[in-house]
Structure 1
Amino acid sequence: MPARYRVALLPILLMLGAALPAAADDIALPREAQLGPRPFYLVDKMKDGPLKQQLAQCIGPFHRSDFSIGHRGAALQFPEHSREAYLAAARMGAGVIECDVTFTKNRQLVCRHSQCDLHTTTNILTVPDLAAKCTQGFSPADPAAGRKASAKCCTSDITLAEFKRLTAKMDGFNPAATTVEEFLSGTPRWRTDLYATSGTLMTHDESIALIKSLGAKFTPELKAAEVPMPFDGDYTQEKYATQMLAAYKAAGIPASDVFAQSFSLKDIVYWVKTEPDFAKQAVFLEERYEKDGLDPNRPETWKPSMQELKASGVAILGPPIYAMLALNDKGEIVPSAYAKAAKAAGLELIGWSLERDGPLHKGGGFYHRSVKAAIDRDGDTLTVLDVLAKQVGVRAMFSDWPATTTFYANCMGMK
């Protein structure tokens, strides 16, 4: 549209409360969060009771909330860490959006959940010259030998320029595949490939620019390297950790808008010493569930202790949902001993990840395993979220579909 017409239309558009038409390179975002039908579907599927009645009366308008964190963007239906997933998260009102950060062969930072997930999250296996650079090329399944289909392609196998040649797909693979095409067709049935055509991969710098333009905050996760460190001679873990936060400084992002994450306590302690402004709200992601068999009701499995974490400089702890929940004698979902101990030690909590188990009519999976006996319907997503918010007192929640957490936060008057 010619500039003179845009100017002429300005008074009319303002009078109507409309946003100016976007230029070709602008991002069109609604003034209010657009939630779609899912949050209301979840309310319809809840057990009858006061919470359902309260949420059923919540009709908006809905606004962005920092309680709502876009986990890998909006990974329930969009390829994770793609531009499209970040835009979807912002439009659903996520006040904070995540970029999992890893590095390429030439030490450039990009957004991927794992350093070595390109074979399941991108089309790399269909690009012959790049597939040839994978740590492990495609190997077909061999039922007679009991061998599943496999491949291993890492960001550290390719340069940034080569990374940018790829497109994003929904995470998944077919272990019974005998061809690359079959291998790539592994999206879980309860997700969708509808929005997975030519997803746009993001560098870390691009994610910062995009999320800034969307008016949201940032939660970058420093992913564990899957190659020996130092990498390529002198690229140490410390340089990697410093490089990630330096990007926010270079972009003029205040530390108060950044929730840096890591599953390594060493990374958090390093930031406490070298980047105290960022460390004030850095998130130590709970790693003990994997290596120590974390039991939310057995303090001997919480090593270091909550008090020791606090003393080391940890301000925010990020556990999986199951670690914060338990069942009481009546079979009701309540805060776990783990959650109570964390709060008693002065640690804030951010939980992960809502909407990641798929349909809950069979009790959910990993994320709900401590309360599985109390879950039998999709609507229990909101029941669990209510306990986490009101009884556990989480500061925010990661969600694969941020409309759900945005809806709840608005209905409960949370920021």
Structure 2
Amino acid sequence: MKPIFLCLTLLLAGCKLTGSAETDAKPLVSPGPRPLYLLQALPDDDLKQRLQACKTQPFYRHDFSIGHRGAPLMFAEHSKQSYQAAIDMGAGIVECDVAFTADKQLVCRHAQCDLHQTTDILLRPELAAKCAEPFSPAEPANGKAASARCCTSDISVAEFSGLCAKMDGVNPHAQNVADYVQGTPGWRTDLYSQCATPMTHQDSVALFKQQGVKMTPELKQPQVPMPYSGGYRQQDYAQQLVDEYKAAGVAPSQVYLQSFNWQDILYWLEHEPEFGRQAVWLDGRYEQPDFNPMQSRSWQPSMAELKASGLNIIAPPLWLLVTEQDGKIVPSAYAKAAKAAGLEIIAWSLERSAPLAQGKDWYYQSLPTLAKHDGVVLQLLDVLARDVGVTAVFSDWPGTTTFYANCLLGDGSF
């Protein structure tokens, strides 16, 4: 039996492949079947041949692969199970989006006020009664959708930790709560969402540290007025995030702080420079009324100004980094300008989309004629890595980014 297959057979017994010190230090991981499914959708070209040649090789954790909210294509986002799935698929970096509770404790949640669609809070009457906006049924006669609004700041951290995380989604046509919370899109799955475990930020730090992966928390914009109860300011919120890493003994090199709020980035650069030097600015300039991805004069502040302020890493959505030219995916003017300014680029978020054959998708809007089949996921990934030169890519199914990175990139660190 060949050594690689013997090793895979004996993996549970602690077998390690012989090789470099770099690979010996990393656990074998399993990207799973999805990358091979996407591979079959590729045309018979050089990229397909290069990726097919990797199918039977061992796979290792890779920093190019970031678990966006864990692995929420199939696991309840920001749950222990979702994080573990991302790690098992080889994500070298995993994300905890950070919000705060009524008692000012940090928890992993994509938005402060999404508990009604990502947990079972509405099915718990004692907690549902605390929601900022209670459940309201749909009214088909006047076109009103069913609604609710439940925030982390409505409950304590203990109450949050007692919830069950579920797949993100609600049924806007629901007449009752039980139907309302059954809103998982058909292209995702509830198979692995049986009372998933929600995580505090400290829980996530402990898990990621124990598993040996890097951490990229996003400080979410508060959806309550700041300063919050008792004078809790935005600066306190930003500092508390860093303090929890310090308390856990996590080195700044292992943490990539994120925020859409430029003032958060400036705060970290000034007050926590060791963490701030690899803070990630999530670029939301595309929401500016006069923003044009092809005209640099509409990007305010400019790429050069961002770099001069101390920023080193910028993170735009996928579509800002590419465009179509002569039937091919090519780097955009935005991507070229960011690289010219000396900024590292992280892209978001791969595989957060319905099958591309279903039609237009926000993440692929700059590829209107090419994004017609799921093989484009791998084509886009290849352009981002080789031509744009991104440092890493967020994905809702990090097995795909792990597979690509192990096949065609380097040793896995940045």
TM-score by length of 2: 0.92
Aligned partner of 1:301: which letter? Answer: S
**1:358 aligns with one of 339, 354, 360:** 354
The aligned runs of 1:255-404 (5 Å cut-off) are 255-292=252-289, 294-328=291-325, 330-362=326-358, 364-404=360-400
* 3-state DSSP of counterpart to 2:366: helix
- Residue by residue over 1:108-143, the C-alpha shift from the partner in whole angstroms, topping out at 9 and shown as x without a partner, is 000000000000000000000100000000000001
Kindly provide the amino acid, as one letter, of the partner of residue 346 in structure 1.
G
Alignment-derived partner of residue 71 in structure 1: 68
Q: Is the 8 A contact 2:286 2:293 kept in 1?
A: no
Give the residue type in structure 2 aligned to 1:263.
F
Specify whether residues 293 and 52 from structure 1 end up closer, same or farther in structure 2 by C-alpha distance, changes over 3 A only. Answer: farther
Question: SS in structure 1 opposite 2:216?
Answer: strand
TM alignment of 1:9-408, pairs within 5 A: 18-19=12-13, 31-59=27-55, 60-292=57-289, 294-328=291-325, 330-362=326-358, 364-408=360-404
Distance in structure 1 (CA, Å) of the matches to 2:150 and 2:11? 49
Q: Give 3-state SS (helix, strand or coil) of 2:59's partner.
A: coil
1:363 offset after TM fit, Å?
5.1
Give yes or no for contact 1:33–1:63 (8 Å, CA) kept in 2.
yes
Note if contact 2:170-2:184 (Cα within 8 Å) is conserved in structure 1.
yes
- Number of paired residues? 393
Task: Determine the structure 2 residue equivalent to 1:26.
Answer: none
User: 2:36 & 2:192 partners in 1: Cα distance?
Assistant: 22
Contact 2:27–2:61 (Cα < 8 Å) also in 1: no
Cα separation, partners in 2 of 1:252 and 1:345, compared to 1, 3 Å:
same
Once the two structures are TM-superposed, the CA of residue 233 in structure 1 deviates from its matched residue by 2.9
Query: Unmatched 5+ residue regions in structure 1?
Result: 1-12, 21-29
Distance 1:19 1:214 in 2: 19
- Give distance in 2, aligned partners of 1:41 and 1:165: 37
SS at match of 1:199: coil
Report the Cα distance in structure 2 between the residues aligned to 1:223 and 1:274, rounded to whole angstroms.
19
SS of corresponding position for 2:134: strand
> Counterpart amino acid of 1:166?
L
Contact 1:97-1:219 at 8 Å conserved across structures: yes
Q: Aligned partners of 1:234, 1:168: CA distance in 2, in Å?
A: 30
Change in CA separation of 1:190 and 1:276 when aligned onto 2, cut-off 3 Å: same
Give the letter for the 1:171 counterpart.
D
Q: What is the distance in 2 between the residues matched to 1:83 and 1:126?
A: 21
Task: Give the Cα separation in 1 of the matches to 2:11 and 2:362.
Answer: 45
The alignment's C-alpha RMSD in Å is: 1.6
State the alpha-carbon separation in 1 of the partners of residues 122 and 173 from structure 2: 16
Secondary structure (helix, strand or coil) at the match of 1:370 reads: coil
- Partner of 2:374, secondary structure, is coil
Question: How much does 1:290 deviate?
Answer: 2.5
CA distance in 1, matches of 2:141, 2:360: 33
Cα distance in 2 for residues equivalent to 1:230 and 1:261: 21
SS in structure 2 of the partner of residue 187 of structure 1: coil
1:366 is matched by which residue type in structure 2? Answer: W
Query: In structure 2, do the counterparts of structure 1 residues 287 and 413 end up closer, same or farther at CA, with 3 Å as the change threshold?
Result: closer
Corresponding letter in the other structure for 1:159: S
- Contact between 1:84 and 1:200, CA under 8 Å: does it hold in 2? yes
For 1:323 and 1:354, locate their aligned partners in 2 and report how far apart those are by CA, in whole Å.
Answer: 13
Amino acid in structure 2 at the alignment position of 1:141: A
**Equivalents in 2 of 1:32, 1:17: separation in Å?**
9
State the AA in 1 paired with 2:43.
K
Residue 413, structure 1, aligned to residue 406, structure 2: no
Note if contact 1:110-1:202 (Cα within 8 Å) is conserved in structure 2: yes
Distance change >3 Å, CA 362–CA 147, structure 1 → 2: closer
Are the structure 2 counterparts of residues 141 and 16 from structure 1 closer, same or farther at C-alpha, using a change threshold of 3 Å?
A: closer
When normalised by structure 1's length, the TM-score is: 0.92
Amino acid aligned to 1:77: M
Q: Which amino acid aligns with 2:392?
A: A
